[in-house]
Structures are given as structure tokens and as C-alpha cells.
């Protein structure tokens, strides 16, 4: 099927409209790359960290059939860098099917992975996400991750976050965090 599509597109590479020729070249490249992604997914365990990260950075441009499964598998990877890039890819897709896998990563040992997991979860204003995020407000020990967590709690906007945010506001001495907490409180759906 891909070969047939490419065959029909190839004549457009010589189109006098530069825009059409450029877009055709990009489309053909993406179509040719899809089988490579499918093969990479089938051999995920044998890929190097570098290969995984390169594939994840391009997966949203190519959109292979195995794209969702590839990102899901990368979210379970042992390498923090691969997990972080997988979360970024999931954010670009804005697909709620990743919520459960990403929610597990808020307990990851790597603060960057936790930070990105909070940011992803903050895109979905669901009560069950609020419950998970609220529990982390008083125990997150990395300032950057905590800042992302506070912003995400505000974005989710659940009224049940009020007590947690207020307690954190009273506990923290950091003025930047205080400002983020106050802004988050202002976003709650009260």
C-alpha cells in the first residue's frame, strides 16, 4: 500500500510549485520511514537508548501504526531519558490512553521524569488525576518537579486540592513556589 501511494506521489516531486514539491518530499520520506518504525517496535528490546530517543522524537511526525504501542513501551523503559522523551511524545499526542502509564511515573526516582509526568497529567482535568497529584504535593522534594506539580494541580482545578495547596503554602518559604500555589488556588473550580 505504501509503495502504491509513493508511486502516485513521486510525479509531484517535480511540480513547479515549490511548496507542493517540498511537501511531497516530506510525505514520501514519512511514508518510507513507517516500516522502519514498525520494525523498531518489534525489536524494541534490542534498540540502544540513542535509537529509542531518536525514534521517539520523530514518532509524532511519522505516525506509524505502532506509534501508540511504541510510546507505551518507552514509558516502561528503565532509562530516565527514554521515559522523559516518551512523556513528551505523549504530551504532543494529547492522548488520554497514556494516563495510567504516566501516572505511575510520578513516583519515578528521576525528578525530570516526575516533572514531565506532572505536566502531562495536568492536561486532563479529571477527579482521579487530582487525587493522585494531591498526594504528591506535600512529599515532592524536587523544586522544579514541585513547581510543575503545583501548576498541574491548578490546571486540573479540582476543589479538593484546596487543603493540600493551602498546607503547602503555609509550609514553604520559597516566594516563587508561593506565587505558583496562589495562582493554582485561584484556578480551582470552587
> So where are the chain's domains?
111-190
Biggest distance spanned by C-alpha atoms of the chain: 67
pLDDT at 66: 80
Residue 34 confidence (pLDDT) above 80: no
* Mean of pLDDT values over 167-175: 95
pLDDT at 43: 86
Long-range contacts of 185-188 (CB under 8 A, 24+ apart): 185/154, 186/154, 187/154, 187/155, 187/157, 188/154, 188/157, 188/158, 188/159, 188/161, 188/162
% of the chain residues with pLDDT over 70: 99
pLDDT tens column, 35-89: 777 788 888 999 999 989 988 988 887 777 788 999 999 999 999 999 999 999 9
Q: How confident is the model at residue 165 (pLDDT cuts 50, 70, 90)?
A: very high
What is the grid cell recorded at 23? 511537501
> Which stretch of DSSP H or E encloses residue 126?
none
pLDDT at 151: 97
pLDDT at 92: 94
pLDDT at 172: 94
pLDDT tens column, 111-132: 999 999 999 999 999 989 999 9
- Which of 108, 128, 126, 130 has the alpha carbon at shortest distance from 117? 108
The whole-angstrom separation of Cα 128 and Cα 83 is 22
111-190: CATH topology: 1.25.10
Q: Are 142 and 111 in contact (CB under 8 A)?
A: yes
pLDDT at 32: 72
pLDDT at 11: 77
Residue 98 confidence (pLDDT) above 90: yes
What is the number of other CB atoms lying within 10 angstroms of the CB of residue 176?
10
pLDDT at 147: 97
157: left (phi over 0), alpha (psi -120 to 50) or beta: left
pLDDT at 20: 83
What is the grid cell recorded at 40? 523498531
pLDDT at 63: 78
Amino acid at each position: 500500500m505504501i509503495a502504491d501511494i509513493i508511486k502516485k506521489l513521486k510525479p509531484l516531486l517535480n511540480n513547479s510549485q515549490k511548496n507542493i514539491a517540498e511537501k511531497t518530499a516530506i510525505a514520501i520520506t514519512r511514508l518510507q520511514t513507517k516500516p522502519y518504525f514498525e520494525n523498531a517496535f518489534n525489536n524494541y528490546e534490542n534498540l540502544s537508548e540513542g535509537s529509542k530517543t531518536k525514534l521517539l522524537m520523530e514518532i509524532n511526525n511519522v505516525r506509524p501504526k505502532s506509534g501508540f504501542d511504541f510510546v507505551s513501551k518507552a514509558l516502561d523503559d528503565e532509562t530516565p531519558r527514554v521515559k522523559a522523551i516518551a512523556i513528551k511524545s505523549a504530551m504532543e499526542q494529547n492522548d488520554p490512553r497514556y494516563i495510567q502509564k504516566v501516572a505511575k511515573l510520578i513516583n519515578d526516582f528521576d525528578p525530570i521524569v516526575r516533572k514531565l509526568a506532572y505536566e502531562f497529567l495536568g492536561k486532563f482535568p479529571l477527579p482521579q488525576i487530582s487525587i493522585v497529584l494531591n498526594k504528591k504535593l506535600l512529599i515532592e522534594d524536587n523544586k522544579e518537579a514541585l513547581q510543575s506539580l503545583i501548576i498541574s494541580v491548578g490546571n486540573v482545578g479540582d476543589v479538593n486540592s484546596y487543603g493540600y495547596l493551602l498546607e503547602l503554602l503555609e509550609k514553604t518559604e520559597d516566594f516563587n513556589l508561593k506565587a505558583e500555589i496562589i495562582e493554582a488556588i485561584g484556578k480551582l473550580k470552587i
